[in-house]
Structure 1
Amino acid sequence: MTLPGFPTAIKASADDSTSSPFWFGQNQTYFQHYSALTLPTSNSIPESVQSKWSNASEINQEKTQNTFAYKSLTYDSTTKKFTMTLEYNSPALKGEGRKSYFDLAFSQSMSSKTSDVHLLTSSIKGAAPDTTLEAKNGVFSSGFDAGQQLGGLYTLKMTIDPVKILSSDEMTGMYSSDTDTTGYHPIFQAARTVGYNDFGPQFNDALLAQLKINSKGTISSLDNLTPDQKSGYNNQIDGENTNKDFVNDLNKITNDATDADKKAACSYADKMDRFYASSTV
């Protein structure tokens, strides 16, 4: 599928049958022509073959120097949305007629909460400074003509709805470089995975802190609760931690406070109606 607004070399692809492609959860470099979905069989070019190419020294760089990392979770009070930032760093190498691709996948609970994924580049020739990764069945994909330069630093930013990260959650980024000109520079797909220990605690801490601020802000704005009621709800908020189901818990506390505020307003309005009705008799 060609993406509108980008050169024809930019493609998006994802698996029609499963939300977990073969490279998900891997920390491995595959030596093969690009395919986001197909197991490395018929399209593979064995490392033993590529090791005889003129720039075979780059093979070890691709196996050891590709890194993928979680950077931050931030909140925009204007849009009321969270942004997660990731970085994928690949050795910057030269080549001829290169095409680069980037694929990104999440564990199921994260994938359902993630949208608007952007691949941002600062020093990579041929790449648009802001490329949207198109989603299909939970895989976010795009590509571009890399010309004579491949690799470098890629920053990924995406919108993510509040979700608690669990021990089973992980994210995999796969950078690929391909060309029809063989015998010179490696053709590869480098999949790298960020697991719970690499990002889960930091993500949950940042999310919990912001959600507490948001919940307390909502309760502070309610006009019909007594100070004691507000204090009670705030105490419940303070009692939440990352060992609990804090996303749902904080949402329930906020909703309970809002409902109580509405009931108090209705009760006051009903009393005033009865007061005015009795006054006119």
Structure 2
Amino acid sequence: MTEGRTKPEDMGRGVLYPELMATKITLNRHEPSEPLARFVENYWIVAWDLRGKASHESKTLSHPSVHLVFEEPHPAVYGIVRGAFARRISGRGHVLGVKFRPGGFRPFLGRPVADLVDQVVPAAELFSEGVLATQDAILGTDDEAEMTAYAEKFLLARLPEPDPVVDEVAAMVARITEDPGLVRVDEVAAQLDISVRRLQRLFAEYVGASPKWVLRRARLHEAAQRADQGTHVDWAALAADLGYSDQAHLTRDFTAAVGVPPGTYLKS
């Protein structure tokens, strides 16, 4: 396992309290091979050693992606989590996650990804029992290259036919998440030159969350990242920049997702 800690700024958008997390875990990401790159965004490996220390609860605001996670007690598929996702770690261990591109899990699943929203499904229910052997291999080594190779072998053996809609949907999600000026679903549909109804159907089928949710989550990621910079935040100005009607609207959204108001989160 790679030594050292991950820098807070390298935790990535969506990881809450990154300064604290950087004292608890190591996080590394690895690129997929070319055949899988159409479906998989990256492999992420989290390792920790809290032996003799208190357990820790990590929290994230998830992205519009499905994850296949090799972890104790069994591997699982995580659909999009619309609230904050929390996981408690203790002792010593590691997990490997496969982060699928937005829409990238649909060809593996064979049905609408909306079926998995807020669900954690044992991977053996969606894949063959071979997933358990892969789990044992991944958790049985500390070598990250070996872990990634085992995950690659598992997915390559189940590689679906290319689906051009995956690229289309991934580009749509990228447009939403990279442009903070987009705040309404009808604006997104107009920019993409498709109807609102078709946009909503594609997201239900391939992403698993509505375009409105993806828009809102992108704004909350931006708000949390501003707070994580540790400097004064003009919340009223930020609310306006992110398309909220007022600061109170941003505060309600942030509190509902994170669990505390943005000002309290900043002070943490």
| Range class of TM-score, shorter chain | under 0.3
TM-score, normalised by the number of residues in structure 1: 0.24
| Higher-RCO chain (CA-CA 8 Å, sequence separation at least 6) | 1
Task: Decide which structure has the larger Cα Rg and report it.
Answer: 1
More helix by percentage: 2
More strand by percentage: 1
